[in-house]
């Protein structure tokens, strides 16, 4: 019994040790927070205490889907540059686009950080969205031919055929009832994913013809949430090994399904013998002409990126534009009149003719200003030694970004920033707005490679819809402002129930 007493742990000693460990941990955390607030190289930049002290505040806002609104609120309070984390600065200044994203003589490149769009496995190739600049440049060279002016002309018939199919389905629905109610968000997803699928894989998902989403489309529309979760975890290096456990099993299964289906469809496309104008054909031509090649694995991975990026962003933009028009009756009347007076019949509206509509172009720009397809910026990392941004030196290792939503909604940059006023983008009426800050497709090395294709689709879809139908809300709008929706780098779009009546 005495031996047992001797070998039993001293509970008092354990308690004291535990208190010391917890106390030391708390002291370290407090010292770390105080360092971030008062001694960190970024301590002189403005921002709220909790955001300056810890990255956790930023992570919580991102996971809640409200980071874009929080950033706007912070810029309204603190000005054109805000410290949004201990090691991150957010800008809404037009000069920041040039300083952060473009190549400047005598300055080192400010490259993408490795937080967003990181490789999920060591043996996985880099994608065009990744942070490796050499691979990104190589991919841009390989895919450039797929998004040239000539390529868009070659794709025109295909794009028009899917918009024709959507219009045929909608006309049939209105013929039966004299009018119809639809969720326009669903139909925009159908047509844009079908176009993107055909150009990426050589076949559509069949959603426009059936009027129902393919399972892959449904998964892709929730893609942004997973990307945001991974990015949040990547900010905490010790937690990165736990990433596979942090993601819910259903999310992991859907990611695997997305990747495997994309790879399967690319392999099927490569087996086609016909020469057809699409993304894969452009890369195959590049591989024949150039010494550097895009491997089959790299092609599979990048097609999974293009099919999503080329559809989700377009459908979100068109939905935001229609939302804005319905909240601005004068703009709706003017753009409808422009379209209807320009054409004798619907068949005259194609990719080429829709591009000539000046007010429609202004409407699209205004819609993308209020509801930018890419809502927040993917940060760059300042190189060692620091760089000058907007006239001030920023230390190396700092994440920096122009965040589109607060930049486009700031009263510093735009007159009546929350109102849908397309006239601000017309030549004679834009002087009172800082249009230089409006860069929905980014600038520099990472400028959106597919913006010409996006413009072709947006113009055609809107011109055809507004030519054929009088469009109105079917019920009370689900929100007062497009920005009320959640976003995890891409919009989590709510249904928009619209009433279509053939004119």
> Residue 492: which residues within 8 A CB-CB, separation 6 or more?
65, 222, 224, 225, 485, 486
How far apart are alpha carbons 415 and 408 in whole angstroms? 11
In 65-183, where does DSSP find H-type helix?
A: 67-78, 94-101, 133-143, 149-177
In whole angstroms, give the CA distance from residue 37 to residue 16.
31
Pairwise CA distance, residues 264 & 260, whole Å? 6
In whole angstroms, give the CA distance from residue 104 to residue 89: 20
- Whether 345 has a binding-site annotation, put simply, is no
The backbone torsions φ and ψ at residue 389, rounded to the nearest 5 degrees and listed phi first, read -130, 125
**Rounded Cα–Cα distance for residues 315 and 368 (Å):** 11
Angle ∠(217,126,86) on CA atoms, nearest 5: 90
Burial 298-328 (b: 16+ CB within 10 A, else e): bbbbbbbbbbbbbbbbbbbbbbbbbbbbbbb
Beta bridge partners of residue 88, listed in sequence order: 85, 399
Q: Give the N- to C-terminal CA distance of the chain in Å, as an integer.
A: 97
Binding-site positions for heme: 448
């Amino acid at each position: 019994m005495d031996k047992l007493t001797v070998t039993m742990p001293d509970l008092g000693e354990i308690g004291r040790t535990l208190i010391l460990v917890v106390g030391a941990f708390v002291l370290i955390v407090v010292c770390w927070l105080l360092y971030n607030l008062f001694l960190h190289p970024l301590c002189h930049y403005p921002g709220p205490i909790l955001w300056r002290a810890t990255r956790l505040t930023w992570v919580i806002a991102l996971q809640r889907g409200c980071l874009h609104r929080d950033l706007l609120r912070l810029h309204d309070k603190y000005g054109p540059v805000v410290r949004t984390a201990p090691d991150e600065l957010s800008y809404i200044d037009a000069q920041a686009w040039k300083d952060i994203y473009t190549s400047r003589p005598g300055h080192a490149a400010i490259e993408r950080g490795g937080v967003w769009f990181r490789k999920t496995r060591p043996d996985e190739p880099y994608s065009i969205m990744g942070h490796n600049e050499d691979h990104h440049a190589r991919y841009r060279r390989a895919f450039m031919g797929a998004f040239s002016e000539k390529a868009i002309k070659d794709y025109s018939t295909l794009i028009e055929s899917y918009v024709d199919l959507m219009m045929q389905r909608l006309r049939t629905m209105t013929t039966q009832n004299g009018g119809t109610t639809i969720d326009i968000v669903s139909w925009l997803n159908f047509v844009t994913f079908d176009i993107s699928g055909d150009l990426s894989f050589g076949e559509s998902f069949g959603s426009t013809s059936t009027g129902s989403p393919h399972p892959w489309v449904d998964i892709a529309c929730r893609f942004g949430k997973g990307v945001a979760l991974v990015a949040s975890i990547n900010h905490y290096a010790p937690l990165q090994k736990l990433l596979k456990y942090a993601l819910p099993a259903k999310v992991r299964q859907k990611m695997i399904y997305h990747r495997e289906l994309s790879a399967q469809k690319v392999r099927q496309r490569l087996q086609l013998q016909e020469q057809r104008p699409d993304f894969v054909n452009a890369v195959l031509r590049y591989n024949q002409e150039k010494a550097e090649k895009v491997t089959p694995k790299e092609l599979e991975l990048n097609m999974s990126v293009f099919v999503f990026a080329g559809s989700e962003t377009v459908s979100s933009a068109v939905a935001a534009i229609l939302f804005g028009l319905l909240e601005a009756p004068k703009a709706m009347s003017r753009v409808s009149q422009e379209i209807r007076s320009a054409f004798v019949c619907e068949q005259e509206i194609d990719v080429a003719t829709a591009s000539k509509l000046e007010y429609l172009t202004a409407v699209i720009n205004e819609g993308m200003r209020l509801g930018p397809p890419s809502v927040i910026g993917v940060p760059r990392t300042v190189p060692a030694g620091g760089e000058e941004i907007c006239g001030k030196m920023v230390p190396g290792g700092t994440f920096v970004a122009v965040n589109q939503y607060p930049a486009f909604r700031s009263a510093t940059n735009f007159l009546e920033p929350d109102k849908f006023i397309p006239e601000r983008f017309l030549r004679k009426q834009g002087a009172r707005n800082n249009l230089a800050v409006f860069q929905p497709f980014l600038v520099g090395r990472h400028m959106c490679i597919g913006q010409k294709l996006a413009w072709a689709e947006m113009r055609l879809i809107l011109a055809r819809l507004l030519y054929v139908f009088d469009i109105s809300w079917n019920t009370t709008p689900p929100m007062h402002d497009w920005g009320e929706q959640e976003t995890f780098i891409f919009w989590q779009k709510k249904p928009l129930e619209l009433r279509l009546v053939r004119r």
